[in-house]
Amino acid sequence: MRWLASGNAVVSRDAIAWPTDAQESCLAALPEPCTHRVQDELLAALSEGYVGDGATPVSGTPEAGIVASEQFGWEVAVPDDGWELTDTEAFTNSEYFEFQSGRSRMTVESVVDHHGDPQQCVLDNLALLETLEERAVIDIGGDDPDERAAGLEPEHGWAVYTVEPLQQERADQEYTIRYDCYTLAPGDASLVVTHTAPRDLWAGERDKGERFREGIRLPASSAITRVNPFAGDERYFGRTMTMGRPRIWISLAA
């Protein structure tokens, strides 16, 4: 028999110790059969240790004009372009905020990448995009020849990519994506800001992204509240497993 469940929740260390101890006891007893566990005991342990809904509320909302990071000290003065905060996640050493305005999506993510280097950060995100879009043609730059495809300056790097899915069922889902990476903590963490819009609408939507990025305020490195050591999952370029779930444009591109 198999018992499956899904969802996100934050529980205490003591609550999660019950199933992990049971697993360790089972392994230690091999080749003897595992001792059976009662499902209600597991549910009771998790329920008693529940400490929140998994996502820490943001410090501000677009309606208030400011969205701020509690862990890393950055903030965004959200411009009046119809942005709605559609998703947030915050766990130890990781934060994710998602906004939508019309056909544009902006994401702002605190990423522990163990380098804090803007150029490498952009390359990391390109590698992740190539992994998620393995059946697509990805070209650097947009369709407008006057738009710079990439740039690099102290503590900030960026690049624009055009994605053409090869699957016939996604023929109308071409999109343009821009990655901006900012150094949050040298050698440790980056702020990743992503703007995505359908390819044929990019020229009209990209000004929204520019105004959004103009509202970013970065902290001094000393202002970052660290939880040492910085944790990360190398499979997601420093993101934790929870924060590293695929976030592709597909649902809004059609």
Q: How many domains does the chain have?
A: 2
12 vs 214, more confident: 214
Long-range contacts, 21-26 (Cβ 8 Å, 24+): none
Q: Which two tokens stand for residue 23?
A: 């697993």
Is 5 within a domain? no
Is residue 244 pLDDT above 90, yes or no?
Answer: no
- Does 214 reside within a domain? yes
Higher pLDDT pick, 127 / 16: 127
Residues 40 and 66 in one domain: no
The rounded distance, in Å, linking the Cα atoms of 18 and 36 is: 13
Q: How far is CA 131 from CA 9, 144, 164, 247, in A?
A: 28, 26, 14, 12
Structural domain contains residue 1: no
CA angle in degrees (0–180, nearest 5) for 203-205-208: 130
| Inside any domain, residue 4 | no
Integer-rounded Cα radius of gyration of the chain: 21
Task: Specify the amino acid at residue 85.
Answer: L
Q: Which two tokens stand for residue 179?
A: 């990655």
Same domain, 92 and 30: no
Q: What are phi and psi of 121, to 5 degrees?
A: -60, -45
User: What's the pLDDT tens digit per position in 43-96?
Assistant: 777 676 655 444 444 444 555 588 888 888 899 999 999 999 988 887 767 788
Residue 106 located in a structural domain = yes
Residue 85 corresponds to which tokens in the numbers above?
């905060």
Same domain, yes or no: 45 and 147? no
pTM reported for the whole predicted model: 0.70
- Domain hosting 94: range is 62-253
Asked whether residue 22 falls in the same domain as residue 88, the answer is: no
Peptide bond just before 31 cis, omega within 30 deg: yes
Residues 121 and 150 in one domain: yes
In a domain, 217, yes or no: yes
